[in-house]
Amino acid sequence: MATTVGDVRERSDVRERSTPVGGRAVRSLRVSAPPAEAEGPLVVILPGLGLPFYTLPTARALSARGLDCEVLDLPGFGAARPRPTRPNIHAIGLSAAGWVRARAAHRPVVVVGHSTGSQAALTAALALAGERRGYSLVMAGPTFPPGQRRILPLAAVTPFAYRDDRPRELDPAEVGRGRTSIVEMLHSGMRDAPERRIAALRAPLTVTSGVHDAFAPASWIDTLATSAVSSARTRTSLLGGSHNNLFTHPDELADLICLAAADAVDWR
């Protein structure tokens, strides 16, 4: 899912920047950013388990379609300490909302979360409610349907969730920096009930997963969409690949996120 900080810095199309949020610096990765600050929709990606690199193919595909995109390094496994926030989906979501306030107060925003990041993205979207319009939420590969909120059932489906993925999507150095904190993130996600929280969402919603993603089967995608009773509009889509299809099927994800960007512009 990730690469080392050094590897990211060596990639000519990736730029790092630091944004103060709540008294701490949040690192983000910007792909092929325009020379001046854009005014169009900004896509903000919250990666699963806080591991940024595997999302970069989708970020590149979005850039190729003319969208400005940043990947947030939250809770900070891709950078040195101190980490900007705790390894908890709600803490990550609140930090992401603070980042949007700091960096995109007057721009349409698409908050894209993948895996546990989708739960954090829901927290961010709910935190922005009442402050602004002009944003939409994409929950990609959302984790932990009710039957997977205990260790044994989760372990049983894990081999089937990654059937189209490969080890090259993982970076041992970043996973090593997370270590026990990743376990804490998993536990915070397993305690969450997004199907209840999503009822308060007013922003446009897109829910998607890979067709072979056992963590996010079609029935769970439909449950989240139908539970979003207050959303301005909802969209569901099964795309190619399995759980990490942001890495394996970036163009499909980018096309779908472009639709969500149009939703954000319309909902202003």
Amino acid letter at 108? P
Burial class (CB in 10 A: 0-12, 13-18, 19+), 177: buried
How confident is the model over 18-65, as pLDDT tens digits? Answer: 999 999 999 999 986 555 556 789 999 999 999 888 999 999 999 999
Q: What is the mean pLDDT of residues 182-190?
A: 94
Question: pTM of whole model > 0.85?
Answer: yes
Query: Which residue from 62, 46, 44, 65 is spatially nearest to 54, judged by alpha carbons?
Result: 46
Cβ 30 vs Cβ 55: under 8 Å: no
Residue 172's pLDDT is what? 54
pLDDT in tens, 193-231: 999 999 999 999 999 999 999 999 999 999 999 999 999
Inter-helix orientation angle 116-128/180-190, to 10°: 60
Rounded CA gap, 209 and 216, in Å? 6
pLDDT band at 164 (very low <50, low <70, confident <90, very high): confident
pLDDT in the model for residue 103? 93
pLDDT at 158 over 60: yes
The pLDDT value recorded for residue 170 is: 61
Q: In this predicted structure, what is the pLDDT of residue 169?
A: 58
Structural domain range at position 177: 5-266
CB atoms within 10 A of CB 159: 9
Number of compact structural domains in the chain:
1
Percentage above 90 pLDDT, the chain: 74
Q: Reduced to 3 states, what is the DSSP secondary structure of residue 81?
A: coil
Number of alpha carbons in the 13 Å side-chain half-sphere of residue 180: 0
Which CATH number goes with the domain that contains 23? 3.40.50.1820
* Residue 155: burial class (beta carbons within 10 Å; 0-12, 13-18, 19+): exposed
Average pLDDT over residues 229-236: 98
The string of DSSP letters for 94-133 reads HHHHHHHHHH-TTS-EEEEEETHHHHHHHHHHHHHTTT--
- Give 10's pLDDT tier (boundaries 50, 70, 90): very low
Report which DSSP code applies to 49: G
Contact 157, 134 (CB under 8 A): no
Phi and psi angles of residue 174, each rounded to the nearest 5 degrees, phi first:
-70, -40
Q: pLDDT category, 268, cuts 50, 70, 90? A: confident
Paired strand residues for 205: 137, 234
